[in-house]
Structure 1
Amino acid sequence: MVCSKCEKKLPKLATVDTWKQGSRNTIEGGGRKLSENKLLRPTSRNTFMPYQNKCKICKQRVNLEKANYCHSCAYKNGICAICGRKVLDTSLYQQSSV
């Protein structure tokens, strides 16, 4: 649950690479070569570390990169997962604590 201002910060595409054009797993796109040993290849890219942020309420790992609250806490409290702004009135909801 994200507010309209923080929706711009989210990634736009669900898929990272298209099949042929610009993908890293083809020879034409400048990606890796066939039969290349990945252990000998220099890794100059930074490794992406997902789940490094923790929720401010329940201290669980957060799956969004810029989020401060996990999805379940954001929905239960009716707040934006990134900025914490009130998005939804949950006073009439019957929610469990699990």
Structure 2
Amino acid sequence: MVCSKCEKKLPKLATLDTWKQGSRNTIEGGGRKLSENKLLRPTSRNTFMPYQNKCKICKQRVNLEKANYCHSCAYKNGICAICGRKVLDTSLYQQSSV
């Protein structure tokens, strides 16, 4: 559960560049490389170490890069997983701890 302000901070999917009109299929001229995997480029390596942060409540490892709370604790408490701001009123919810 993420608030609208922190939704902009979420990572984007790695996709191919959009084709530009008038560009050529060459590497020398600054065009796009064909069949290039952006995740295997040297510049994108080691930029994100997964599971480095732990939840502030239950000390479980989180799966988002900038998150301070895991998904289950954020949903149970009705807070944003990244900034901890109150998003939902959970006072009348009957939630189990399972």
TM-score range, shorter chain: 0.5 to 0.7
How many residues align structurally?
Answer: 98
CA RMSD across the alignment: 5.3
For the structure 1 residues 5 and 96, does the alpha-carbon distance in structure 2 shift closer, same or farther, using more than 3 Å as the test?
A: same
For the structure 1 residues 12 and 47, does the alpha-carbon distance in structure 2 shift closer, same or farther, using more than 3 Å as the test?
A: closer
Long gaps (5+) in structure 2: none
For the structure 1 residues 64 and 38, does the alpha-carbon distance in structure 2 shift closer, same or farther, using more than 3 Å as the test?
A: closer
Runs of 4+ in 1 over 3 A off after TM superposition: 14-45
Partner Cα separation in structure 1 for residue 83 and residue 94 of structure 2: 25
Using structure 1 for the length normalisation, give the TM-score.
Answer: 0.67
| Conserved 8 A contact 2:68-2:82 | yes
Deviation at residue 11 of structure 1 after TM alignment: 1.8
For the structure 1 residues 89 and 42, does the alpha-carbon distance in structure 2 shift closer, same or farther, using more than 3 Å as the test?
A: closer
For the structure 1 residues 44 and 84, does the alpha-carbon distance in structure 2 shift closer, same or farther, using more than 3 Å as the test?
A: closer
Q: Secondary structure at the match of 1:68?
A: coil
Q: Secondary structure at the match of 1:23?
A: coil
Deviation at residue 45 of structure 1 after TM alignment: 3.5
Q: Residue in 2 aligned with 1:60?
A: 60
Partner Cα separation in structure 1 for residue 26 and residue 4 of structure 2: 37
For the structure 1 residues 79 and 30, does the alpha-carbon distance in structure 2 shift closer, same or farther, using more than 3 Å as the test?
A: same
Long gaps (5+) in structure 1: none
| Conserved 8 A contact 2:62-2:69 | yes
Q: Percent sequence identity over matched residues?
A: 99
Using structure 2 for the length normalisation, give the TM-score.
Answer: 0.67
Higher helix share: 2
